[in-house]
Structure 1
Amino acid sequence: MILIEDTVISDDVADKFFVCNLEKCKGACCVEGDLGAPLEASELPVLDEIFPKIKPYLTPEGIKAIEEKGCYEQDWEGDYVTPTIEGRECAYALYDERGVLKCGIEQAYNDGVVDFKKPISCHLYPIRITKYEHYHALNYDRWHICSPACDLGKNLGVPVYKFLKDPLIRAFGDDWYKQLEREIEEK
Structure 2
Amino acid sequence: MFQLGKTIVSEAIIENDFVCNLSACKGACCIDGDAGAPLTKDETQILEDIYPKVKPFLRQESIAVIEAQGTSITTALGELETPLINGADCAYVIFDEKNTALCAIEEAYNQGEVSWKKPVSCHLYPIRVKEYTEFSAINYDKWEICDDACSLGKELQVPVYKFVKEALIRKFGEDWYAELEKVARTMQ
TM-score of the aligned structures, taking structure 1 as reference length:
0.99
Aligned partner of 2:106 in structure 1 is: 106
CA distance in 1, matches of 2:55, 2:160: 32
CA deviations over 1:37-79 (Å, ceiling 9, x no partner): 0101110110000000000111111111100100001112111
Normalised to the residue count of structure 2, the TM-score between the two structures is: 0.98
Correspondences of 1:9-88 after superposition (within 5 Å): 9-88=9-88
In the alignment, the residues of structure 2 paired with residue 180 and residue 35 of structure 1 have an alpha-carbon distance, to the nearest angstrom, of: 29
Code of the aligned partner of 1:126? P
SS at match of 1:24: helix
Tell me the residue number matched to 1:119.
119
How far has the Cα of 1:2 moved from its partner? Answer: 2.4
Pairwise CA distance, 1:131: 1.2
**How many residues are paired up?**
187
SS of 2:89 mapped into structure 1: coil
The alignment status of 1:148 with 2:123, answered yes or no, reads no
- CA-to-aligned-CA distance 1:116-149 (integer Å, 9 cap, x gap): 1000000000000111111110000010100000
Gaps of 5+ in 1: none
Letter in 1 for 2:123: H
Unaligned runs of 5+ in 2: none
- 1:66-112 deviation per Cα after TM superposition (whole angstroms, max 9, x unaligned): 00100001112111100011111001010000100000000000111
1:163 aligns with 2:163: yes
| Structure 2 letter corresponding to 1:158 | V
Find the residue that maps to 2:102 and give its secondary structure: strand
Percent of matched pairs sharing the same residue: 50
**Using the alignment, how far apart are the partners of 1:88 and 1:33 within structure 2?**
6
DSSP-derived class of the 2:123 partner: helix
Q: Distance in 2 between matches of 1:89 and 1:61?
A: 10
Q: CA deviation at 1:35?
A: 1.1
Looking at structure 1, the residues matched to 2 and 42 of structure 2 have their Cα atoms a distance apart, in angstroms, of: 27
Moved over 3 A (4+): none
**RMSD, matched Cα:** 0.6
